Amino acid sequence: MNYAGVIEFVREKIADNGRPPNYPFRDRFEHTMRVYRWAIKLQAQIGGDLEIIALAALLHDVGWEEGREHGEVGAEIAVEYLDSIGLEPEKISRIGEIIRIHDDKDTEAELSLECKVVMDADLLDEVGAISVLWDSMATACEEEANYRKAYNRIKSFYTGNRPKIRRCKTEVARLEFDRRLKLLEDFLTQLERELF
Ligand SMILES: [Fe+2]
Ligand SMILES: [Fe+2]
Protein backbone atom coordinates (compact mmCIF):
# COMPACT_ATOMS: atom_id res chain seq x y z
CA MET A 1 0.00 0.00 0.00
CA ASN A 2 1.28 3.45 -0.96
CA TYR A 3 0.44 5.25 2.28
CA ALA A 4 2.17 8.47 1.17
CA GLY A 5 -0.36 8.68 -1.68
CA VAL A 6 -3.28 8.10 0.70
CA ILE A 7 -1.95 10.77 3.08
CA GLU A 8 -1.70 13.25 0.21
CA PHE A 9 -5.29 12.48 -0.82
CA VAL A 10 -6.46 12.99 2.79
CA ARG A 11 -4.54 16.27 3.13
CA GLU A 12 -6.21 17.66 -0.02
CA LYS A 13 -9.70 16.40 0.86
CA ILE A 14 -9.59 17.87 4.35
CA ALA A 15 -8.27 21.17 3.06
CA ASP A 16 -11.17 21.63 0.66
CA ASN A 17 -14.13 19.89 2.19
CA GLY A 18 -15.32 23.25 3.56
CA ARG A 19 -15.66 22.12 7.17
CA PRO A 20 -15.42 25.28 9.28
CA PRO A 21 -12.64 25.05 11.90
CA ASN A 22 -14.00 25.73 15.39
CA TYR A 23 -10.62 27.23 16.32
CA PRO A 24 -7.93 28.60 14.05
CA PHE A 25 -5.30 26.34 15.65
CA ARG A 26 -7.33 23.13 15.25
CA ASP A 27 -5.91 21.47 12.23
CA ARG A 28 -8.01 18.47 11.20
CA PHE A 29 -5.27 16.99 9.09
CA GLU A 30 -2.95 16.97 12.12
CA HIS A 31 -5.76 15.36 14.13
CA THR A 32 -6.05 12.69 11.45
CA MET A 33 -2.32 11.96 11.59
CA ARG A 34 -2.42 11.63 15.37
CA VAL A 35 -5.39 9.25 15.12
CA TYR A 36 -3.47 7.25 12.49
CA ARG A 37 -0.38 6.98 14.73
CA TRP A 38 -2.40 5.99 17.80
CA ALA A 39 -4.47 3.49 15.84
CA ILE A 40 -1.23 1.80 14.76
CA LYS A 41 0.08 1.81 18.35
CA LEU A 42 -3.14 0.27 19.60
CA GLN A 43 -3.12 -2.32 16.81
CA ALA A 44 0.39 -3.40 17.82
CA GLN A 45 -1.00 -4.43 21.21
CA ILE A 46 -4.53 -5.51 20.35
CA GLY A 47 -4.26 -6.89 16.84
CA GLY A 48 -6.74 -6.56 14.01
CA ASP A 49 -6.04 -6.11 10.29
CA LEU A 50 -3.36 -3.42 10.11
CA GLU A 51 -4.23 -2.29 6.57
CA ILE A 52 -7.91 -1.84 7.39
CA ILE A 53 -7.08 0.05 10.59
CA ALA A 54 -4.47 2.30 8.98
CA LEU A 55 -6.67 3.19 6.00
CA ALA A 56 -9.81 3.71 8.08
CA ALA A 57 -7.89 5.95 10.49
CA LEU A 58 -6.40 8.00 7.65
CA LEU A 59 -9.72 8.41 5.86
CA HIS A 60 -12.06 8.67 8.86
CA ASP A 61 -12.52 12.46 8.75
CA VAL A 62 -12.39 13.25 5.02
CA GLY A 63 -16.12 13.88 4.70
CA TRP A 64 -18.05 17.02 5.46
CA GLU A 65 -21.28 18.34 3.98
CA GLU A 66 -23.76 20.70 5.60
CA GLY A 67 -26.87 18.84 6.72
CA ARG A 68 -25.52 15.32 6.18
CA GLU A 69 -23.97 12.73 8.50
CA HIS A 70 -20.23 13.35 8.65
CA GLY A 71 -19.49 9.60 8.71
CA GLU A 72 -21.82 8.88 5.82
CA VAL A 73 -20.16 11.47 3.56
CA GLY A 74 -16.67 10.31 4.56
CA ALA A 75 -17.54 6.67 3.88
CA GLU A 76 -18.71 7.53 0.36
CA ILE A 77 -15.52 9.44 -0.42
CA ALA A 78 -13.31 6.72 1.08
CA VAL A 79 -15.05 3.88 -0.77
CA GLU A 80 -14.75 5.67 -4.10
CA TYR A 81 -11.10 6.51 -3.49
CA LEU A 82 -10.11 3.02 -2.30
CA ASP A 83 -11.86 1.53 -5.31
CA SER A 84 -9.88 3.85 -7.58
CA ILE A 85 -6.57 2.62 -6.13
CA GLY A 86 -7.63 -1.02 -6.50
CA LEU A 87 -8.09 -2.25 -2.91
CA GLU A 88 -10.02 -5.51 -2.55
CA PRO A 89 -13.80 -4.92 -2.37
CA GLU A 90 -14.11 -6.85 0.90
CA LYS A 91 -11.63 -4.54 2.64
CA ILE A 92 -13.23 -1.47 1.08
CA SER A 93 -16.61 -2.35 2.52
CA ARG A 94 -15.16 -3.00 5.98
CA ILE A 95 -13.32 0.34 5.93
CA GLY A 96 -16.44 2.14 4.67
CA GLU A 97 -18.43 0.68 7.55
CA ILE A 98 -15.92 1.90 10.14
CA ILE A 99 -15.93 5.42 8.72
CA ARG A 100 -19.72 5.50 8.50
CA ILE A 101 -20.14 4.69 12.19
CA HIS A 102 -16.98 6.26 13.73
CA ASP A 103 -18.67 9.32 15.25
CA ASP A 104 -21.27 7.29 17.13
CA LYS A 105 -19.05 6.41 20.09
CA ASP A 106 -22.08 5.34 22.17
CA THR A 107 -23.42 2.90 19.61
CA GLU A 108 -24.79 -0.40 20.85
CA ALA A 109 -24.01 -2.04 17.52
CA GLU A 110 -21.69 -5.03 17.31
CA LEU A 111 -18.32 -3.59 16.21
CA SER A 112 -15.37 -5.24 14.50
CA LEU A 113 -12.01 -5.17 16.29
CA GLU A 114 -10.70 -2.79 13.60
CA CYS A 115 -13.61 -0.43 14.20
CA LYS A 116 -12.99 -0.46 17.97
CA VAL A 117 -9.32 0.42 17.45
CA VAL A 118 -10.08 3.36 15.13
CA MET A 119 -12.86 4.69 17.38
CA ASP A 120 -10.58 4.48 20.42
CA ALA A 121 -7.71 6.26 18.66
CA ASP A 122 -10.16 9.04 17.65
CA LEU A 123 -11.48 9.30 21.22
CA LEU A 124 -8.00 9.48 22.76
CA ASP A 125 -7.20 12.59 20.72
CA GLU A 126 -9.71 14.56 22.80
CA VAL A 127 -8.00 14.17 26.13
CA GLY A 128 -4.52 14.38 27.69
CA ALA A 129 -1.55 16.71 27.45
CA ILE A 130 -3.03 17.72 24.11
CA SER A 131 -6.23 18.97 25.72
CA VAL A 132 -4.19 21.29 27.99
CA LEU A 133 -2.72 22.83 24.85
CA TRP A 134 -6.15 23.04 23.26
CA ASP A 135 -7.79 24.71 26.27
CA SER A 136 -4.92 27.12 26.76
CA MET A 137 -4.92 28.15 23.12
CA ALA A 138 -8.72 28.41 23.01
CA THR A 139 -8.57 30.70 26.04
CA ALA A 140 -5.93 32.82 24.37
CA CYS A 141 -8.34 33.33 21.45
CA GLU A 142 -10.91 34.89 23.81
CA GLU A 143 -11.06 38.51 24.84
CA GLU A 144 -9.22 39.36 28.05
CA ALA A 145 -7.52 36.01 28.21
CA ASN A 146 -5.71 35.16 31.43
CA TYR A 147 -4.30 32.20 33.33
CA ARG A 148 -7.31 31.83 35.60
CA LYS A 149 -9.62 31.52 32.59
CA ALA A 150 -7.33 28.88 31.11
CA TYR A 151 -7.26 27.03 34.44
CA ASN A 152 -11.09 27.12 34.65
CA ARG A 153 -11.39 25.84 31.13
CA ILE A 154 -8.92 23.00 31.63
CA LYS A 155 -10.67 22.04 34.86
CA SER A 156 -14.18 22.05 33.40
CA PHE A 157 -12.97 20.13 30.36
CA TYR A 158 -11.42 17.54 32.65
CA THR A 159 -14.64 17.19 34.67
CA GLY A 160 -16.80 16.97 31.55
CA ASN A 161 -14.58 14.45 29.79
CA ARG A 162 -13.78 12.12 32.68
CA PRO A 163 -16.97 10.04 32.17
CA LYS A 164 -16.12 9.52 28.49
CA ILE A 165 -13.71 6.78 29.53
CA ARG A 166 -16.68 4.43 29.33
CA ARG A 167 -16.72 5.01 25.57
CA CYS A 168 -13.39 3.18 25.20
CA LYS A 169 -13.98 -0.06 23.36
CA THR A 170 -10.68 -1.76 24.19
CA GLU A 171 -8.82 -2.33 27.45
CA VAL A 172 -5.56 -0.88 26.08
CA ALA A 173 -7.27 2.39 25.15
CA ARG A 174 -9.06 2.46 28.52
CA LEU A 175 -5.69 2.27 30.29
CA GLU A 176 -4.29 5.05 28.10
CA PHE A 177 -7.39 7.22 28.68
CA ASP A 178 -7.07 6.65 32.42
CA ARG A 179 -3.40 7.58 32.32
CA ARG A 180 -4.31 10.82 30.50
CA LEU A 181 -6.98 11.64 33.09
CA LYS A 182 -4.42 11.14 35.88
CA LEU A 183 -2.01 13.46 34.07
CA LEU A 184 -4.73 16.13 33.92
CA GLU A 185 -5.53 15.66 37.63
CA ASP A 186 -1.86 16.05 38.56
CA PHE A 187 -1.50 19.02 36.26
CA LEU A 188 -4.53 20.77 37.79
CA THR A 189 -3.32 20.10 41.34
CA GLN A 190 0.11 21.50 40.55
CA LEU A 191 -1.36 24.47 38.68
CA GLU A 192 -3.50 25.31 41.71
CA ARG A 193 -0.38 25.21 43.90
CA GLU A 194 1.47 27.51 41.54
CA LEU A 195 -1.30 29.93 40.63
CA PHE A 196 -3.37 30.49 43.78
FE1 LIG B 1 -15.10 12.36 12.72
FE1 LIG C 1 -11.67 12.33 14.10
Q: Is residue 51 part of a domain?
A: yes
Q: Is residue 123 part of a domain?
A: no
Q: Answer yes or no: do 54 and 92 share one domain.
A: yes
Question: Count of domains in the chain?
Answer: 2
- Stretches where the chain sits below pLDDT 70 are none
pLDDT computed for residue 68 by the predictor: 93
Backbone dihedral angles phi then psi of residue 112, each to the nearest 5 degrees: -75, 160
In terms of Cβ atoms closer than 10 Å to its own Cβ (0-12, 13-18, 19+), residue 88 is: exposed
Q: Is residue 122 part of a domain?
A: no
Query: H or E stretch including 73?
Result: helix 70-84
Q: Which residues keep their CB under 5 angstroms from ion ligand 2? A: 61, 122
pLDDT computed for residue 23 by the predictor: 85
Q: Answer yes or no: do 101 and 139 share one domain.
A: no
Long-range CB pairs of 87-93, under 8 A, 24+ apart, other chains included? 87/55, 91/49, 91/51, 91/52, 91/55
pLDDT in tens, 113-146: 999 999 999 999 999 999 999 999 999 999 999 9
When the pLDDT of each residue in the chain is averaged and rounded to a whole number, the result is 96
Measure the CA–CA gap between 195 and 15, rounded to whole angstroms: 39
Greatest Cα-to-Cα distance within the chain, rounded to the nearest angstrom: 59
Q: Is residue 115 part of a domain?
A: no
Tell me which ligand sits closest to the C-alpha of residue 36.
Answer: 2
DSSP 105: T
Q: Answer yes or no: do 101 and 174 share one domain.
A: no
How far does the centroid of ligand 2 lie from the alpha carbon of residue 123, in Å?
8
pTM beyond cutoff 0.75: yes
The CATH number of whichever domain residue 45 belongs to comes to 1.10.3210.10
How far does the centroid of ligand 1 lie from the alpha carbon of residue 15, in Å?
15
